[in-house]
């Protein structure tokens, strides 16, 4: 695989090599400030993002219920790399580069589907087994140069029902340490025993970094009236003395709800302590169990459970929302009654795919146990609002008049994302 190899043929940048070009861009960023406009538009930096960020880090691509049966596959484009995930008949999940070892055609050409015992390239009908080995080539026998050919594998890791892939030859080794910390938080939500209630792809006309930055702060959450029904608007360090009388009353209400919720989490044996490792390591991640407002049950308009069948062995619906974020491309909300996963993949410097998936208990039936509109409403609306926010940001940062402004305290995670991004590019380019 070439993903971890040095960048090939750096694009000519008026004679400046890519390494130097990226170094100059990183040097131009001011800590504690928004990123310079080039970070969202520059084609050479975008190529570096694909190769060095998306090509070398663990990416969340699907959850296990998206491939429920042996033979199920799903295809993805990670920048220029078409890949596919395949559930084998023994239940294991493998990933391969979706590029035939003959003349390169994509072997699996639909977004998702089912294969038989073997994979057959539709071009000249070369046949591969579930382990990716070439076992046939149409009418003729395998010739000597064909012997031993196999599809190039892609690394796969599973974490409590979430599937991550890494294109690098040597993936970051810190995934297992993250998994060990996260498993006790995630496993009780029993993702392998859920099914997909809905999946929606949204394409944002914005750079992927704007999508992630936007996700890392709720400074803009006044623009989310539906989401705001279930979320308390208190993030990071709160200085009570700086709050208005009205805000202080709301803060006290939040504190009381949080004390109650923590007692409930304790009783249920659910971990809730914040883990914040968003930079200083290749696999940046963060988790936090948030108390919810109102009835405190779920992220719905009435803040009550969307599904009457709770996940796993839960008996209490008021478990708050366990937030989990993994850099560079995913975030999750784990509730008592459903899970929402979000995966982003860059399509171009100014285009980003955001895939949202709602998971409910495998036995839950639409109409009987949940109403699909009620289940999905908050994030359908919130995603639409966020798409507009980041698209307007993309337009604004394209202006020659744009100058990065200072981040505020509640945007601390945006700052951490910037630190991680800079660290990863400097490490990859030895800058
Ligand atoms: S390209 Fe796949 S069989 Fe020829
Ligand atoms: Fe938002």
Per-residue pLDDT tens over the stretch 191-234: 999 999 999 999 999 999 999 999 999 999 989 999 988 888 77
Taking CA 159 as the corner, what is the angle to CA 288 and CA 199, rounded to the nearest 5 degrees? 80
- The CA 143 to ligand 1 mean position distance, Å, reads 15
What phi and psi values does residue 249 have, to the nearest 5 degrees?
-65, -45
Q: Does one domain contain both 377 and 280? A: yes
Per the listing, tokens 């936007």 go with 214
Separation between Cα atoms, residue 198 and residue 301, nearest integer Å: 18
Average pLDDT, the chain: 93
pLDDT tens profile 16-38: 789 999 999 999 999 999 999 99
H or E element, residue 218: none
Does the pLDDT value for residue 318 go beyond 80?
A: yes
Residues 147 and 248 in one domain: no
Percent of the chain beyond pLDDT 90?
Answer: 83
Residue 244's pLDDT is 81
pLDDT at 417: 98
Which residues, other chains included, contact 78 with Cβ-Cβ below 8 Å and sequence gap of 6+? 50, 54, 55, 59, 165, 167, 345
Ligand nearest 119 Cα, by number? Answer: 1
Q: What is the bridge-based pairing of β-strands 119-120 and 126-128?
A: antiparallel
Distance 148 CA to ligand 1 centre (A): 16
* Residue 187 sits in the same domain as residue 321: yes
**How many whole angstroms from 107 Cα to the centroid of ligand 1?**
8
The yes-or-no verdict on residue 45 having pLDDT over 90 is yes
Which residue lies with its CA nearest to atom 3 of ligand 1? Answer: 124
Do the domain assignments include residue 277? yes
Ligand number nearest CA of 127 is: 1
Q: Which residues line ligand 1 (CB under 6 A)?
A: 100, 102-105, 121, 123-124, 126
CATH (domain of 179):
3.90.380.10
| Residue 29 within any structural domain of the chain | no
Ligand with the closest atom to the CA of 149? 1
How many structural domains does the chain have?
A: 2
- Looking at residue 235, its pLDDT comes to 67
Would you state the pLDDT for residue 377? 97
pLDDT tens for each residue of 54-72: 999 999 999 999 999 999 9
Q: Are residues 290 and 234 both part of a single domain? A: yes
pLDDT at 341: 98
Give 139 Cα–ligand 1 centroid separation in angstroms.
13
Please give the average per-residue pLDDT across 154-166, as a whole number.
98
- Do 286 and 327 lie in one domain? The reply is yes
Helices (H), 142-190: 175-186
Let me know if residue 41 belongs to a domain.
no
Nearest to 101 by CA among 135, 145, 147, 151: 151
Same domain, 155 and 183: no
Q: Are 87 and 69 in contact (CB under 8 A)?
A: yes
Using the predicted structure, report yes or no on whether residue 11 has a pLDDT greater than 60: no
Q: Cα-flanking dihedrals φ and ψ of residue 121, to 5°?
A: -70, 125
Instruction: Confirm whether 168 is domain-assigned.
Output: no
Ligand 1 atom closest to Cα of 124? 3
Question: Regarding predicted confidence, which is higher, 342 or 146?
Answer: 342
Q: Which atom of ligand 1 is nearest to the CA of 103?
A: 1
Tokens found for residue 289: 């169990």
Whether residue 329 contacts residue 209, with contact meaning beta carbons closer than 8 Å, is answered with: no
Closest listed residue to residue 1, CA positions, set 161, 166, 119, 143: 166
Nearest alpha carbon to residue 153 among 137, 164, 166, 136: 166
Residue numbers of the domain that contains 240: 175-429
Q: Per-residue pLDDT averaged across 134-163, rounded?
A: 93
Residue of 99, 123, 135 to mutate, ligand 1, most atoms within 8 A of C-beta: 123
* Residue 288 binned pLDDT confidence (cut-offs 50, 70, 90): very high
> Is the same domain home to 228 and 92?
no
Specify which of 239-248, 252-261, 408-417 reaches the highest per-range mean pLDDT.
408-417
Q: In angstroms, rounded to a whole number, what is the distance separating the alpha carbons of residues 14 and 107?
A: 39
Report the alpha-carbon distance of residue 286 to residue 301 in Å, rounded: 26
pLDDT recorded at residue 3: 43
Q: Are residues 354 and 392 in the same domain?
A: yes
Predicted pLDDT at 13: 57
pLDDT tens digits, 354-367: 999 999 999 999 99
* Distance (Å, whole) CA 300 – CA 385: 16
Nearest-CA residue for atom 1 of ligand 1: 103
């Amino acid at each position: 695989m070439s993903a971890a190899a040095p960048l090939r043929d750096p694009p000519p940048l008026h004679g400046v090599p890519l390494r130097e070009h990226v170094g100059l861009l990183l040097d131009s960023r001011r800590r504690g400030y928004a990123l310079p406009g080039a970070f969202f538009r520059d084609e050479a930096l975008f190529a570096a993002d694909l190769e060095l960020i998306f090509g070398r880090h663990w990416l969340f691509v699907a959850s296990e219920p998206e491939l429920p049966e042996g033979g199920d596959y799903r295809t993805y484009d990670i920048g220029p790399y078409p890949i596919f995930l395949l559930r084998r008949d023994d239940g294991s999940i493998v990933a391969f580069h979706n590029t035939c070892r003959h003349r390169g055609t994509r072997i699996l050409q639909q977004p998702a589907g089912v294969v038989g015992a073997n994979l057959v390239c539709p071009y000249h009908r070369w046949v591969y087994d579930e382990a990716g080995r070439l076992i046939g080539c149409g009418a003729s026998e395998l010739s000597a140069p064909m012997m031993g050919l196999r599809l190039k594998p892609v690394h796969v890791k599973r974490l409590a029902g979430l599937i991550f892939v890494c294109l690098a030859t040597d993936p970051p080794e810190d995934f297992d340490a993250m998994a060990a910390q996260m498993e006790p938080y995630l496993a009780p939500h029993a993702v392998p025993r859920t099914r997909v209630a809905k999946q929606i792809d949204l394409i944002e006309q914005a750079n992927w970094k704007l999508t992630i930055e936007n996700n890392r702060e709720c400074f803009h959450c006044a623009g989310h009236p539906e989401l705001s029904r279930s979320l308390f608007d208190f993030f990071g360090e709160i200085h009570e003395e700086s709050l208005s009388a009205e805000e202080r009353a709301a803060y006290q209400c939040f504190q009381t709800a949080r004390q109650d919720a923590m007692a409930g989490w304790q009783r249920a044996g659910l971990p809730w302590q914040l883990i914040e490792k968003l930079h200083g390591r290749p696999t940046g991640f963060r988790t936090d169990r948030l108390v919810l407002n109102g009835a405190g049950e779920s992220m719905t308009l009435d803040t009550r459970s969307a599904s009457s069948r709770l996940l796993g062995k839960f008996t209490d619906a008021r478990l708050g929302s366990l937030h989990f974020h993994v850099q560079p491309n995913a975030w999750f909300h784990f509730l008592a009654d459903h899970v929402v996963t979000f995966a982003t993949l860059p399509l171009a410097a100014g285009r980003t795919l955001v895939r949202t998936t709602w998971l409910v208990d495998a036995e839950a039936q639409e109409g009987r146990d949940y109403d699909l509109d009620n289940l999905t409403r908050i994030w359908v609306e919130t995603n639409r609002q966020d798409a507009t926010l980041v698209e307007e940001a993309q337009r604004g940062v394209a202006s020659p008049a744009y100058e990065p402004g200072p981040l505020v305290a509640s945007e601390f995670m945006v700052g951490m994302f910037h630190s991680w991004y800079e660290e990863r590019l400097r490490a990859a380019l030895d800058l």
